[in-house]
Structure 1
Amino acid sequence: MACMQCHYYSSSLKHTVEVNVIVPTPEGNEQITDSNVQKSYCYEKGLPVVYLLHGAFGNYSSFLRFSNIERYVQKHRCVAVMASADNSFYQDMYHGNSYYTFFTKELPAFITNVFPVSKKREDTYIAGFSMGGYGAWYLALSNPDLYSKSASMSGALDIVGLYSEYLKGTMDAPFPLEDIFAEPQNLSGSNFDLFELHKQCMTKGQVPELYQACGTEDFLYSMNQTVKSRLEQVGANLIYEEGSGGHNWDFWDEYIKKVLNWMFNK
């Protein structure tokens, strides 16, 4: 596979950004000899693409540094895109940068024009962990015409509950939510509330398929159980998986393989 680091000026963020892009190579896994090499060239029609979102305190290098994502991407012959969002919850921040605009408009335009990537909805996926788990669902449910499938691992999916726990002091927030949302006290039923966004998608008749995973020892396990229950009650197209593990890369590296298998039906 080819792993490239791109640096370019972002007009929505007003600074130069770093983006990691993994493109599968035609010959598959690294070969020791030239015998029995089956080349697969599928660049002309455009490769499927998955956008991978990091968690709090992470950045564009998180997946590359802590997982085996390069091998997994090569197996599925898809392009993987990783960019930084700081601690923004992937929002156009009230006090800060416009990461929602960057991830849903500017970044896809850059990727589809520079790399051999399909522009079709059915070939476009998004996944993330922790803060990025919320981000993956938020971006997909806000743009159901852009993403066909969205996956959350150990996601902070109930933003209303998160803010409530933050106010009570029972859960630490690594960053002030008041800098992200103009009125965090009014998140319930807003366009930042994943349940509201899912309802809107159902009304419109276009809902991304959702995948949710969480470790049973994760501090967000109870939240994920509640989210699963609420979505099942409204008939969401949701795949849920759990297993032993905490809020760490041992769990995420295992489950990103499951995510990609689900996305590509293997």
Structure 2
Amino acid sequence: MNTLIKKLLTLILVIAALQAKAAKVDTVLTHSQVMKKDIKAVVILPAKYSKKVQYPVVYLLHGFSGNYADWITKDAAVQNLADQYNYLIVCPDGAFASWYIDSPVNNYWMYDTYVSKELVAYIDSHFSTIKDRSGRAITGLSMGGHGALYLAIKHQDMYGAAGSMSGCVDLKPYAKDFAINQILGKYEDDPKSWADHSVVGMLAQLKPNALKLTFDCGADDFFAGINNDFHQQLLAAKIPHDYTVRPGGHTWDYWSNAVNYQMLFFSRYFNKLN
């Protein structure tokens, strides 16, 4: 057997071994009773998943104009993080522009209730999970960064840790952008609603150490200013948190890097290291 054939056989065996240990990626069909429709979600199971073990879960939200498959198609390496940290990663569908809010103007958009109640209930009933806030974290990018912090602060009984990557943490400056007005109505009609549904408007609901928080933003991102402001507000309120500014903009190159640090943060939380 010549050297080239030996190398090819070795390569084939290595690939087979890696595939055998790879995370399992499923697309599940969930149902939202409140919106009366079926909604897809990606569920990534670690390679060693066993029904005999209860696993933590990280809910990973997509951004504006995205869908449930964004993370696994645009950053396929994210599935390796489920293996690395031995927890489930769930990527919900938040529609084109739901902002993960229960819309006060259109009851067709009820993605707060869907993600934090209906989807969590589905995941906990169909998979072997830690059915407690100590085993749940949530994060996301852009619209999903807003959604993750908004949902975690609003539902501190459901999530123990939360993060955001390039999150739109203040909706008010973007009253005419990103279809937010289809969820909240016109800003001038109800500015209080816009303030109340913005992450920066929820600061009073946070108590020191009640929720483990991490968020980041690229230095060249158009959301950098509002993230810096939120960081300063958290400091003034003495709310412990991790905040990082890295080189980069509002791009998948940035998020594919940032998600690694987010997932490490959550692993440390689940293992009581934070």
Whether the TM-score (by the shorter chain) exceeds 0.5 is yes
Provide the TM-score with structure 2 as the length reference: 0.82
Tell me the matched-pair count.
241
Bigger share in helix: 2
- With over 3 angstroms needed to count, the CA separation of the structure-2 counterparts of 1:88 and 1:239, relative to structure 1, is same
Partner of 2:120: 108
Q: Distance in 1 between matches of 2:233 and 2:195?
A: 17
- With over 3 angstroms needed to count, the CA separation of the structure-2 counterparts of 1:140 and 1:8, relative to structure 1, is closer
Q: What RMSD, in angstroms, separates the aligned Cα atoms of the two structures?
A: 1.9
**Residue 59 (structure 1) shift:** 0.5
**Residue 182 (structure 1) shift:** 4.7
**Deviant stretches of 4+, over 4 Å:** none
Partner of 1:57: 65
Per-residue CA distance 1:164-212 (angstroms, 9 max, x = gap): xx4xxxxxx121x33211563423785413234231232xx77311111
Whether the 8 Å contact between 2:184 and 2:193 is mirrored in structure 1 is no
Percent identical residues: 27
Q: Distance in 2 between matches of 1:63 and 1:156?
A: 18
- The alignment status of 1:12 with 2:41, answered yes or no, reads no
**Residue 227 (structure 1) shift:** 1.3
Per-residue CA distance 1:20-75 (angstroms, 9 max, x = gap): 1001021xxxxxxxxxxxxxx66434100000111000000011011111011110
- With over 3 angstroms needed to count, the CA separation of the structure-2 counterparts of 1:158 and 1:8, relative to structure 1, is closer
Q: Distance in 2 between matches of 1:179 and 1:161?
A: 15
Q: Distance in 2 between matches of 1:160 and 1:236?
A: 23
Between structure 1 and structure 2, the one with the greater Rg is 2
Q: Which blocks of at least 5 consecutive residues in structure 1 are unaligned?
A: 27-40, 167-172
- The alignment status of 1:89 with 2:90, answered yes or no, reads no
- One-letter amino acid of the structure 1 residue matched with residue 85 of structure 2: H
- The alignment status of 1:119 with 2:92, answered yes or no, reads no
- One-letter amino acid of the structure 1 residue matched with residue 102 of structure 2: D
Whether the 8 Å contact between 1:6 and 1:19 is mirrored in structure 2 is yes
Partner of 1:129: 141
- The alignment status of 1:147 with 2:159, answered yes or no, reads yes
Whether the 8 Å contact between 1:126 and 1:136 is mirrored in structure 2 is yes
- One-letter amino acid of the structure 2 residue matched with residue 249 of structure 1: W
Q: Which blocks of at least 5 consecutive residues in structure 2 are unaligned?
A: 1-22
